[in-house]
């Protein structure tokens, strides 16, 4: 059976929100450290300002991330956005880990001995076209830590946009296109 992940193509459609999911290398919980989660959130904000895209929802889980975004221009593709977001995070974390040599460093090396922070490939990508789907994805994203048993309430997990929707705390979300 062919590897379906390698044959899937992104469908860049201007005006569609994008639901993106991507994982840490080998789905290891590389986001167990709050400083690393905050580094990701800071980079998400910086990347949004640099590339000019809308953020409607996000969550950082121990081993993966969900985003609901909408690029403002056709030039900002999902691939471009993900590269601009993921590469700086990986570079900073791996640089720090090389300095302190934690045990996880050996678990994230490939066969050639090169360390990786992110799972190779594009992750999961879906165009979201209806208002109902946007609201469903936001609810799904915010409920992820509750479903996993990490917290009792969506607003107990500080590493998502649920706090913005509830109390206007944390990384500001853009107005929904509803």
Average pLDDT of the segment spanning 3-29: 76
Higher pLDDT, 72 or 108: 108
> Which residues, in sequence order, are CB contacts of 14 under 8 Å at separation 6+?
71, 74
Burial of 77 (0-12, 13-18, 19+ CB in 10 A): middle
Specify whether the CB–CB gap between 130 and 118 falls below 8 A.
Answer: no
**Locus of tokens 């121990």:** 62
Please count the other Cβ atoms lying within 10 Å of the Cβ belonging to residue 164. Answer: 16
Whether 3 has a pLDDT exceeding 80, the answer reads no
The pLDDT tens digits for 76-88 are: 888 999 999 999 9
Read off the tokens for 23: 């994982």
Arithmetic mean of pLDDT, 122-145: 94
Q: Give the homologous superfamily in CATH for domain 4-167.
A: Transposase IS200-like (3.30.70.1290)
- Domain coordinates of the chain in residue numbers? 4-167
pLDDT recorded at residue 13: 61
H or E stretch at 60: strand 53-60
Q: Which H/E stretch holds residue 132?
A: helix 131-147
What percentage of the chain reaches a pLDDT higher than 90? 80
Q: How confident is the model at residue 1 (pLDDT cuts 50, 70, 90)?
A: very low
Total-model pTM: 0.90
C-alpha span between 2 and 62 (Å, rounded): 30
Report which of residues 8 and 44 the model is more confident about.
44
Is residue 12 scored above 80 in pLDDT? Answer: no
Model confidence over 42-54: pLDDT tens digits?
Answer: 999 999 999 999 9
| Cα four-point dihedral sign 157, 82, 16, 51 | positive
């Amino acid at each position: 059976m062919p590897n379906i992940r390698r044959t899937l193509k992104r469908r860049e459609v201007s005006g569609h929100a994008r639901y993106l999911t991507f994982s840490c290398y080998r789905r290891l919980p590389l986001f167990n450290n709050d400083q690393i989660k905050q580094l990701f959130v800071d980079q998400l904000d910086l990347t949004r300002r640099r590339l000019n895209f809308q953020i409607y929802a996000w969550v950082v889980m121990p081993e993966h991330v969900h985003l609901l975004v909408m690029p403002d221009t056709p030039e900002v593709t999902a691939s471009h956005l993900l590269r601009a977001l993921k590469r700086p995070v990986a570079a900073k974390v791996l640089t720090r880990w090389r300095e302190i040599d934690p045990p996880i460093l050996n678990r994230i090396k490939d066969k050639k001995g090169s360390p990786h922070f992110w799972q190779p490939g594009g992750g999961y990508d879906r165009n979201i076209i209806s208002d109902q789907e946007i609201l469903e994805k936001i609810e799904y994203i915010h409920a992820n830590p509750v479903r996993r048993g990490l917290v009792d309430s969506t607003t107990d997990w500080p590493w998502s946009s649920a706090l913005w929707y509830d109390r206007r705390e944390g990384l500001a979300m853009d107005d929904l296109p509803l």
